[in-house]
């Protein structure tokens, strides 16, 4: 007898044999892999769009330029030879190669707007909306949950499942090792290593803390959360409760809590799935968040520009070897053309003559740097504009800091520990080093942990951006002195937009890279200072004043570089930063929740 439409929606897997359950489990694993891949793919597309948006934001304001040059390849328009087309979406002008004719709408859409359209469709938001409206969770998740229950009910069969999973190619041996039973211990040690490494390499920090790859960042977050709660089990539970905001995650959360007592091995397995599951379910929002933060970080564009050049490359190479570890995630500019054409929308770019392509690449690299420099120039007036003043202040601050740290270094350490290990955490956050565990995780898609964990999920997860903001805001002072120098190359490069030659471009790039190197030096010094400041504040010293100033600057800068599309999102994030400065503001936490509860994709795109 088969039940019909009114079939009870409860999933009864009790009649499955262990082997059958294992098979189903494996299939679901494969499905999760595919979902993860899809997540990554869409993330890539988003990055591309972000990049393009940045360019537009800068160039869009200059009407004379956009009227005479293609917004995308910056090729000058010429009558009949290279005529211009206005994009239906952005109303900017693009050349034939950089846009496509849309027959239905009887107009041209430039490639970047086409990418944006594709993303909107590509996420299949219409479908997911429907699923969300009808069901609590998607099918695989539902079955996974049910399987967990079933296994929870009969402990005898668990080793069975785990054993069989070990020879399964879709499982994640590294993670088994890493998380098996004592994952908190593991985390603690790796943290220590990381921290030590960080201390050593702090001065060499050349990459913006926000610039390292997503997985890394989120791995950091989750680890940090766990650190806040001494006692491994408690930590895990608390961590889980933070994730519980997502509807599906909450289900897993419950399961996990049910299991927490008796079945730790299995528990950790499922735990991973919670991460992944969550990332899938909320990919839209989290992606939004991630890329919002990743947009136009200074170091990214610097490293992009510097890398292809000989001598400068070594300079940066020394400073940031982690860039290499991220092999496949190398900046877009360096990718071979085939890889860059992830989306079919790039087809046209490929069809353009290689020279133009190359120029285009260089151009956009320079542009993003220009953008950077512009931001620096628009630093609020309250910022001391003259070099000597800034230097003086820095020196005095530094002296004070030295004294203070000398006096209370011991005390500071102990109080850090009393604070539930909160204090050391921000210090480590800015360094994009991969822990061994992290490296392993990145190579195993399954082990990737919480790749798309929304940054706003927990109260602690907004600390790295905050920390970063402080560092950069303070670093802004010395920048002022560099700005004048940098202005020269930047203006030069702008005047060359129309007919730049290869050699001119590379000259410019060299100049820019030099300037960047200087900026970097100052930056790392200041970040060192900031770290000390953080230590001090953890020790109870009041550094509120400087913090507050820093935050103001950061917010303004952030606001100036954000594209209108993201204003709403930006607003939310800024309020988060504001909240996180004091760390105790309950309002900030509320907003926090509000952000993560909002389907950002729908709102942003």
Partner 1 sequence: MFCAVSTMTDGDYDYLIKLLALGDSGVGKTTFLYRYTDNKFNPKFITTVGIDFREKRVVYTATNSNGTTGKTFKVHLQLWDTAGQERFRSLTTAFFRDAMGFLLMFDLTSQQSFLNVRNWMSQLQANAYCENPDIVLVGNKADLADQREVQEKQAKELADKYGIPYFETSAATGSEVDKAVITLLDLVMKRMEQCVDKPAQDAPNGDGASKLEAPPSNEKKEMKIWAPSVLTANNDKEVNVTSSQWTTE
Residue in 64, 81, 106, 503 binding partner 1, rule: CB under 8 A: 106
Q: Determine if 160 is a binding residue for partner 1 (CB under 8 A).
A: no
Residue in 67, 78, 131, 582 binding partner 1, rule: CB under 8 A: 131
Residue 545 · residue 533 · CB < 8 Å: no
Helical (H) or strand (E) element with 492: helix 463-495
Site string for partner 1, 243-282 (x = CB under 8 A): ----------------------------------------
First to last CA, the chain: 48
Q: Determine if 34 is a binding residue for partner 1 (CB under 8 A).
A: yes
Residue 276 C-beta: closest distance to partner 1, Å: 15
Residue in 81, 104, 261, 336 binding partner 1, rule: CB under 8 A: 104
Q: Determine if 126 is a binding residue for partner 1 (CB under 8 A).
A: yes
Q: Determine if 81 is a binding residue for partner 1 (CB under 8 A).
A: no
Q: Determine if 340 is a binding residue for partner 1 (CB under 8 A).
A: no
| 26-34, 214-222, 265-273, 416-424 -> range binding partner 1 (CB under 8 A) | 26-34
Q: Determine if 417 is a binding residue for partner 1 (CB under 8 A).
A: no
Q: Within 10 Å of residue 249's Cβ, how many Cβ atoms? A: 25
The alpha carbon of residue 605 and the mean position of all alpha carbons in its chain are separated, in whole angstroms, by: 18
Count the residues of the shown chain that bind partner 1, applying the rule CB under 8 A: 67
Residue 441 · residue 215 · CB < 8 Å: yes
| 103-111, 175-183, 194-202, 452-460 -> range binding partner 1 (CB under 8 A) | 103-111
Three-state DSSP class for residue 363: helix
Helical (H) or strand (E) element with 110: strand 107-110
Least Cα distance to 524 among 430, 434, 433, 435 occurs for: 430
Helical (H) or strand (E) element with 94: strand 93-94
Please identify, using beta-carbon distances, which residue of 286 and 555 lies nearer to partner 1: 286
Three-state DSSP class for residue 420: coil
DSSP symbols for 302-366:
HHHHHTTSHHHHHHHHHH-THHHHTGGG--GGGS-HHHHT-SGGGHHHHHS-HHHHHHHHHHHHH
Three-state DSSP class for residue 502: helix
Residue 602 C-beta: closest distance to partner 1, Å: 11
Residue in 60, 76, 122, 308 binding partner 1, rule: CB under 8 A: 122
Three-state DSSP class for residue 99: strand
* Alpha helices (runs of H) in 496-566, residue ranges in sequence order: 502-538, 544-561
**Unique residue bearing structure tokens 């869409």:** 42
Residue in 124, 385, 488, 559 binding partner 1, rule: CB under 8 A: 124
**Helix 264-281 and helix 232-243: axis angle, to 10°?**
20
| 101-109, 291-299, 398-406, 552-560 -> range binding partner 1 (CB under 8 A) | 101-109
Footprint of partner 1 (CB under 8 A): 1-8, 10-13, 15-16, 19-20, 23-24, 27, 30-31, 34, 37-38, 40-41, 44, 80, 83-86, 88-89, 93, 96, 100-101, 103-108, 117-118, 120-122, 124, 126-127, 130-131, 134-135, 138-140, 142-143, 342-344, 347-348, 351
């Amino acid at each position: 007898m088969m039940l019909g439409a009114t079939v009870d929606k409860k999933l009864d897997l009790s009649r499955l044999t262990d082997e059958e359950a294992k098979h189903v489990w494996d299939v679901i694993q494969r499905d999760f892999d595919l979902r993860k891949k899809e997540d990554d793919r869409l993330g890539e597309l988003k990055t591309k769009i972000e990049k393009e948006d940045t360019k537009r934001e800068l160039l869009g304001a200059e009407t004379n330029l956009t009227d005479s040059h293609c917004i995308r390849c910056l090729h000058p328009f010429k009558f009949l030879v290279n005529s211009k087309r206005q994009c239906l979406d952005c109303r900017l002008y693009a050349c034939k190669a950089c846009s496509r004719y849309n027959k239905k709408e009887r107009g041209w859409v430039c490639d970047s707007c086409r990418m944006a359209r594709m993303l909107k469709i590509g996420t299949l938001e219409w479908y997911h909306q429907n699923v969300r409206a009808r069901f609590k969770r998607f099918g695989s998740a539902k079955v996974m949950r049910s399987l967990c229950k079933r296994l929870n009910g009969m402990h005898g069969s668990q080793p069975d499942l785990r054993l069989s999973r070990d020879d399964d190619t879709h499982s994640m041996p590294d993670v088994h090792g890493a998380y098996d039973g004592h994952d908190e211990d593991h985390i603690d040690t790796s943290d220590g290593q990381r921290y030590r490494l960080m201390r050593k390499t702090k001065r060499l920090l050349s990459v913006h803390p926000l610039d390292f790859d997503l997985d890394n960042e989120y791995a950091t977050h989750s680890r940090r959360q766990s650190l806040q709660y001494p006692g491994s089990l408690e930590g895990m539970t608390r961590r889980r409760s933070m994730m519980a905001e997502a509807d599906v995650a909450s289900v897993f959360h419950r399961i996990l809590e049910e299991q927490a007592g008796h079945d730790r091995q299995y528990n950790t397995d499922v735990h991973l799935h919670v991460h992944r599951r969550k990332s899938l379910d909320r990919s839209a929002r989290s992606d939004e968040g991630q890329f919002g933060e990743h947009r136009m970080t200074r170091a990214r564009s610097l490293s992009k520009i510097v890398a292809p050049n000989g001598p400068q490359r070594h300079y940066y190479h020394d400073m940031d070897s982690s860039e290499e570890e991220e092999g496949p995630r190398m900046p877009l500019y360096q990718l071979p053309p085939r890889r860059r054409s992830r989306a079919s929308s790039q087809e046209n770019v490929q069809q353009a003559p290689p020279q133009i392509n190359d120029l285009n690449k260089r151009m956009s690299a320079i542009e993003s740097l220009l953008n950077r420099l512009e931001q620096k120039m628009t630093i609020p007036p309250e910022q001391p504009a003259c070099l000597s003043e800034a230097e003086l202040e820095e020196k005095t601050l530094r002296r004070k800091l030295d004294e203070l740290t000398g006096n209370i270094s011991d005390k500071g350490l102990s109080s850090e520990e009393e604070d539930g290990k909160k204090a050391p955490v921000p210090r480590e956050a800015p360094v994009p080093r991969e822990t061994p565990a992290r490296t392993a995780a990145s190579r195993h898609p399954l082990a990737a942990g919480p790749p798309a964990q929304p940054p706003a999920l927990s109260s602690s997860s907004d600390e790295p951006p905050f920390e970063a903001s402080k560092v950069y805001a303070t670093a802004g002072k010395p920048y002022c002195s560099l700005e004048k120098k940098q202005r020269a190359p930047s203006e030069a490069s702008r005047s060359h937009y129309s007919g730049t030659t290869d050699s001119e471009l590379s000259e410019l790039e060299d100049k820019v890279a030099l300037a960047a190197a200087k900026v970097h030096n100052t930056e790392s010094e200041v970040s060192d200072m900031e770290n000390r400041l953080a230590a001090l504040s953890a020790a109870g010293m009041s550094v509120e004043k400087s913090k507050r100033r820093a935050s103001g600057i950061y917010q303004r800068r952030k606001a100036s570089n954000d594209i209108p599309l993201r204003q709403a999102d930006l607003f939310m994030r800024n309020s988060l930063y504001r909240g996180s400065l004091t760390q105790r503001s309950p309002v900030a936490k509320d907003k926090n929740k509000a952000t993560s509860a909002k389907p950002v994709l729908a709102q942003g795109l």
